[in-house]
Structure 1
Amino acid sequence: MAKQLDDVATLELPIEAPKRGRGRPSTGKARSSAERMRELRERQRTAVWGADEEARDIPVTVTGMIEQLRYAVANGYVAVARHLSDRLLKMAMENKLRNSDGK
């Protein structure tokens, strides 16, 4: 709005930039829902197994392995469930052989 020519008491307001819009500003790095879910599943997978394949061979208790097997089956991690069941079967066979040699 312009002021009248005779007005000497009113100050001019410095208008530098237009008013910013409402809401959070855009960063330009938005991801789709599928990308976010893929990253979430990967984080969940590494939370159980660690970042590398060698983490699968860390010794754990039988109870811990059974709990991990339950989690893998419940969440559809087929390869993990297969690996755990193979390790449990191998341990059972070793225990059976160890016990039969002692008798």
Structure 2
Amino acid sequence: MDIKNLFSKVFNDEISDIHLCTGLPPMIRQVHGLFPWGDVILKSEDVMEILNEIIPSNIKIGKKFEKEIDLGIDFCGIRFRINIYEDRRGICAALRLIPQT
């Protein structure tokens, strides 16, 4: 998955959130609701790979993820708040765009 392409889409297409969850395609939130971005179903390894690419190097997400993490990041010049958690399917993350002022 081209995470930089997805993040630039968020910035350019008025998308407020990205949801990454094991067993589902990436989801994007726009004004009218939540929609799939593509048709690739994410595996746990995919979510971990994406998260490990964008979060600080001192935080690594692995298969034995047992806690919830909240943090803010700047990726490709775009600021996000991220909530990483685990549900019944596996690792998930909700990324919210922090608007530029």
TM-score, L = length of structure 1? 0.29
* Greater share of residues in helix: 1
TM-score (norm 2): 0.29
Structure that is richer in strand per residue: 2
Structure with the bigger RCO (C-alpha within 8 Å, sep 6+) is: 2
Bigger Rg, which one: 1
